Structure 1
């Protein structure tokens, strides 16, 4: 029997890191090791029933788990830091779902990592938990401060590296992704489609509008939203639209810096789509002028960008409406009404 030190979770920072929070969490909010500890005797032998410990001890190039510490991790999963004698692993668990959500996250992380552009945590293992649920084991990254580097502020570096990822991550299959995944806890349909406007109308806006009808019986937003999806093609006239690899859920809570001050993005909802769709969460991402200036040096801004951005924000406002309730309805309806007036439909 090995002694593993477990640090009890005190959920005092959960509210600052919920999926719908608009404030950027601090390093302490995101990676917390609480000072009050207790030691629990438990087995770390590979024959035990903990598949996470089994994988770490057999495949993780380590021989001993020293400490398991809960860390702040949002409102969907429970997150932990597994300290070992050769480093740490980051683990997320969910007792309510199968492996599909974490498999989608792992594929997204691998896809972004393969572009060799911006840092993301590398996923190692997805599996089932005894008694139900699933887990993902990934690289543990120490967060650092977003200090200026080589005369460039962190926003500028982030914009350039995100542009590099969009430029490098291309798909020959069109718009979509190899698996269905989730946006928050909402299913995200990624069936391949050769036409971006059709894909976005059906699998993004249309799916969320159907959910709003199912969840709330909201016929007003459903009917007006469908009118928009059927008449929004003029917004894209003359626009070059290529399938770019998107993070898909890029808000302040999913952006940080590593210990060297390099940009880091995590918790993706990846798919291949129009690069402008990446800014649908810009209303709570905190992107500044230097970010956009650097990004558009890599991915040039196209005519009508500011006119179209509301269509991409609408997807996320609708998702927040479906996830968190009526507080987001007015923002979604306002966007729909503005476009219906603009398009005279």
Structure 2
């Protein structure tokens, strides 16, 4: 989601083919929550974080919604995001997503440590501090690592995620569903077009979007879709590299979905030819990929329309109308 702002140096996060046989999805426990104290962040760092002293606290980047700080200690550094306006649920969903990606042992993500409420309202998340490199990640390595994550991250519950989360500040519904077309139609496109109708009275987007949802099944003919773990909001602001040049991805909106949906933010991700070449060497391109590509862009154009206004409407309606013509709907 384009309006994210940087974790560590880039992001404090707003609030951006066949898979192998499925591996059993283990039900995740709620992410560890901290008990209340006058300063639960410092309390955790000085106990479970195994530090004996905090040597410095420095603001990192900036955020429209969340504040980000680097805590330096004698046990290393921690990255902390806080929000005085919301409870822990948004950060808990972020932590579950980060943990799911971390557990694939493929692409680097910051390891989450603790989520909890702040004493006088609000919430926080403590995670691994990653020192970023001076340049963006190598496109070829990024493509390969992302494909490896998609290949490794599987669910036997279908499409969805253990918790609802947010894409930007928009709620993202992740109720489990065994059918991808139904999931994407109802919980992705359907949710966004209903939001556009409710917010703007946009009956054109809603009615034409409903027609597309009802008629989009032919775009998925002759392919097998199995749930893959997706970052869910992969744009340039959520992609960087560590000091060794290895790719790092941040601020997820995770769910298990069709791997092609990961490219829905490609219009502002800067993916080049070497990225796709390396990706498809691990996760081969499926028939009809090009025909479905804009369908996955549409979700994010609709989300930007709902978040930021009419500047994104023309892109969304153009995609919808093009598909209605293609499908004779």
Q: What is the TM-score when the length of structure 1 is the normalising length?
A: 0.85
Aligned-pair distance for 1:20? 2.4
| CA pair 108-318 structure 1, distance change in 2 beyond 3 A | same
Greater gyration radius: 1
Q: How many residues align?
A: 307
Matched, 1:58 2:47: yes
Cross-structure match for 1:229:
213
| CA pair 202-326 structure 1, distance change in 2 beyond 3 A | same
Q: Residues of 2 paired with 1:131 and 1:320: CA distance?
A: 32
Matched, 1:138 2:154: no
Q: Residues of 1 paired with 2:73 and 2:263: CA distance?
A: 38
State the Cα RMSD in Å.
2.0
Aligned-pair distance for 1:28? 5.9
Q: Residues of 1 paired with 2:321 and 2:183: CA distance?
A: 22
> Are the equivalent residues in 2 in contact too, given 1:47–1:54 (CA < 8 A)?
no
Cross-structure match for 1:78:
67
Q: Residues of 2 paired with 1:111 and 1:161: CA distance?
A: 15
> Are the equivalent residues in 1 in contact too, given 2:9–2:60 (CA < 8 A)?
no
> Are the equivalent residues in 1 in contact too, given 2:7–2:60 (CA < 8 A)?
no
What SS does the aligned partner of 2:56 have? strand
2:151 aligned residue (155, 167, 171): 167
Cross-structure match for 1:116:
105
> Are the equivalent residues in 1 in contact too, given 2:6–2:61 (CA < 8 A)?
no
Matched, 1:204 2:193: no
Aligned-pair distance for 1:30? 5.7
> Are the equivalent residues in 1 in contact too, given 2:36–2:118 (CA < 8 A)?
no
| CA pair 218-30 structure 1, distance change in 2 beyond 3 A | closer
Cross-structure match for 1:20:
2
Residues 1-345 of structure 1 mapped to structure 2, 5 A cutoff: 19-20=1-2, 49-146=38-135, 154-345=138-329
> Are the equivalent residues in 2 in contact too, given 1:27–1:144 (CA < 8 A)?
no
Aligned-pair distance for 1:73? 4.3
Aligned-pair distance for 1:340? 0.5
| CA pair 201-274 structure 1, distance change in 2 beyond 3 A | same
Aligned-pair distance for 1:242? 0.7
Q: Residues of 1 paired with 2:99 and 2:153: CA distance?
A: 11
Aligned-pair distance for 1:74? 3.8
User: What stretches of structure 2 of length at least 5 have no aligned partner?
Assistant: 13-34
| CA pair 67-216 structure 1, distance change in 2 beyond 3 A | same
| CA pair 290-93 structure 1, distance change in 2 beyond 3 A | same
Tell me whether 289-298 or 86-95 shows the greater mean CA deviation. 86-95
> Are the equivalent residues in 1 in contact too, given 2:36–2:117 (CA < 8 A)?
no
| CA pair 143-169 structure 1, distance change in 2 beyond 3 A | same
Tell me whether 62-71 or 114-123 shows the greater mean CA deviation. 62-71
1:89-148 CA distance string (max 9 Å, x none):
00011111111111111011110011110000000000001221111000000001348x
Q: Residues of 2 paired with 1:47 and 1:344: CA distance?
A: 58
Q: What is the TM-score when the length of structure 2 is the normalising length?
A: 0.89
Q: Residues of 1 paired with 2:230 and 2:144: CA distance?
A: 14
Choose between structure 1 and 2 for higher RCO, CA contacts under 8 A separated by at least 6 residues.
Answer: 2
Q: Residues of 2 paired with 1:309 and 1:158: CA distance?
A: 19
